[in-house]
Chains A and B, each alone.
Chain A
Amino acid sequence: MSPAPGTRKRKTPTGTDAARAEHRRELLRAMLRIRRFEERCVELYSAAKIRGFVHLYIGEEAVAVGVNEALTADDAVVATYREHGHALARGIPAEAVMAEMYGKTTGCSGGRGGSMHLFDASRRFYGGNAIVAGGLPLAAGLALADRMRRQPRVTCCFFGDGAYAEGEFHETANLAALWKLPLLFVCENNLYAMGTAIERHEAQTDLALRSASYGMAAWAVDGMDVEAVERAARRAAESIRGGGGPHFLEMRTYRFRAHSMYDPDRYRDKDEIERWKARDPVTRLLDRTREDGELSERKLAGIERRITEEIDAAVEAAEQAPEEPVENLLRNVTSGFVEAM
């Protein structure tokens, strides 16, 4: 059995063509898996199988996949409410994520969290946070624990450009730089905070520039190019492991879908969306691998087929999974005692 993605040991692609081809196929597979998973979520949402706020990551897959390549199983990940991609890239089984979307007891949060609160302690995946920027201080704490115990681990936190305006980001950036915490800030700058374009919510829209002023290494990355993301993340993670303190990566990316399933998406030009779709990270990598003769149509069809099978199985399992009994309503409020209803 091959280890789940995200739990595998870091492997540096070797210079050989075969290894590069293999690695690219792996990146492509991981991105396609996220995309197909979410496309299925759209169908399931329309069929009222899954409910609540569902925020799709479609268009941004290169960020989660590329960054995850630089992380090991020992590292920690803190994500947002747009975290299906992060969770899947981290290696949480599609089945556990889908069951959580269904609110079933077999979900990765036991049905308590839903789409916005995916957790997996065994994979050091700490949410799934629906408070914009609310996960950032927590990520600093995970990194602080590693620093205090002299462990060469990285804590990676994902957040949006909207989160950049929150005090919690700035408090955390200051703390991380002041204490030289092994923290990787990955800002997914998709140019919008819900319907508010970045020029309308940030006085200075160059987020890497601003972050550098905290005294941490910071640079911008083409977030639509998974290989560029991977290179940047690897460089940052290695520097962090070597004691280089926090790093900030501004991933310039775009979401192709609306903010959430409730959003009619009236605030963006169709042209703008089309321009970004022309830079679709999946298509881009696909084109590259084809050009370099690294991916046959047969291989691609095989990848797609296995993903479909995996998602079908996840949906089927979620359908069949039991509901958590209502008697368990008050479980997991505290570890020690159950309060009277």
Chain B
Amino acid sequence: MATGQPDERKTTYREAMREALREALRADERVFLMGEDVGRYGGCFGVSLGLLEEFGPERIRDTPLSESAFVGAGIGAALSGLRPIVEIMTVNFSLLALDQILNNAATLLHMSGGQLPVPLVIRMTTGAGRQLAAQHSHSLEGWYAHIPGIRVLAPATIEDARSMLAPALADPDPVLIFEHGSLYNAAGELAPLTAPVDLDHAATRRQGTDISLITYGGSLPKALAAADELAADGISAEVLDLRTLRPLDGEAIAASVARTHRAVVVDEAWRTGSLAAEISARIAEESLYELDAPVERVCSAEVPIPYARLLEQAALPQTADIVTAAHRAVD
């Protein structure tokens, strides 16, 4: 399809997510959305705007500021055969529901000897870059990726925002979807959905031969921009979008490193104990002899994310940092 044809649609990440929600609500009457301000307000980030009018307050359910209670209620409703989608405003606030997510959603299937699967989807925003200061800016999805029993998704593209929700709802186990706050306004063309998307595999967003930039979520645009700059310097960078943080697609990581023999891991979380640390360890375990240079990591500085623009930008992984790290590995 050529660009600009009427059957291609210009849309945003936010609208794509809303479209996915609308479709899920239409397709299955067991599906409902609940969270703080998802109804009247239209969603704290505008994702669910208009859904209340279409589906009514039973299914687009505003909740009190009670993260633990409404996440737990989502678990109970899922146990009882419904298909709840719970929205938590940001990952920072999800900590008030961590007990429910970790001690109930992730463990009930196992503790019950397989009797109680929890088909629940929890969506939340993550990440920094909008000067919201420390309590609204952290990237804790790696913590959740630490937990067996749940699936952790990080849609980085408009396509994934549109297409990951349906398979997440079809998954019999709890699925956490992390939407990076800086992505909502990302605009682009969205081809109509054809086949269902799989949640087990990473995606190569750009082919390359000299180095692998391994990333996910809000860092993907930065990695792609870095790849452009590197290309101008004559370095061919491959960009691997993990898409699913648990279970990690270890094979895709190993295959990419086997092609390029160098890797930069880009992760907006803090470096210490991060998902980037896990990926680096896997490369060391499985691909050490493929490597022509030490694995590089580009992560956030070890500081609560500051408010001041300059400081915030300095704390976060930037395109220039990725380019520099890639040069270190290649040169």
Contacts and interface: CB of A to CB of B under 8 A. Distances in A.
B111 to A, nearest CB: 4
Interface string A127-142: 1110100111111111
B131 interface: no
B110 A112 contact: yes
B79 A109 contact: no
A304 interface: no
A339 B148 contact: yes
Interface residues of B, number: 43
A113 B113 contact: yes
Interface residues of A, number: 47
A333 B109 contact: yes
B58 interface: yes
Interface stretch (B2-10, B35-43, B97-105, B178-186): B97-105
B73 A144 contact: yes
B116 A174 contact: no
B112 interface: yes
A168 B111 contact: no
B270 interface: no
A88 B28 CA distance: 37
Contact of A172 (B72, B84, B148): B72
A136 B75 CA distance: 11
Contacts of B148: 333-334, 339
A47 interface: no
Most A CB within 10 A of own CB, among B151, B172, B247: B247
A126 B116 contact: yes
B115 A119 contact: yes
Contact of B99 (A111, A117, A131, A144): A131
B172 A336 contact: yes
Contacts of A111: 113
Interface in B173-213: 173, 200
B169 to A, nearest CB: 13
Contacts of A131: 99, 103-104
A287 B213 CA distance: 78
B273 interface: no
Interface string A173-198: 01100100000000000000000000
Given A168-B68, A175-B64, A334-B151, A109 B113 contact: yes
Interface string A292-332: 00000000000000000000000000000000000000011
B69 A339 contact: no
B61 to A, nearest CB: 8
Contacts of A109: 111-113, 115
Nearest to A141: B76
B71 interface: yes
Given A171-B66, A336-B172, A121 B72 contact: no
A43 to B, nearest CB: 25
A142 B76 contact: yes
A136 B309 CA distance: 42
A333 B246 CA distance: 13
A140 B69 contact: yes
Please list the 5 inter-chain residue pairs (A to B) with the smallest Cβ-Cβ separation, ordered nearest first: A141-B76, A137-B72, A110-B113, A145-B80, A171-B69
Interface of B: 32, 58, 63-64, 66, 68-82, 84, 99-100, 103-104, 108-117, 148-149, 151, 171-173, 200, 247
Interface of A: 76, 107-113, 117, 119-121, 126-129, 131, 134-146, 148, 155, 167-168, 171-172, 174-175, 178, 331-337, 339
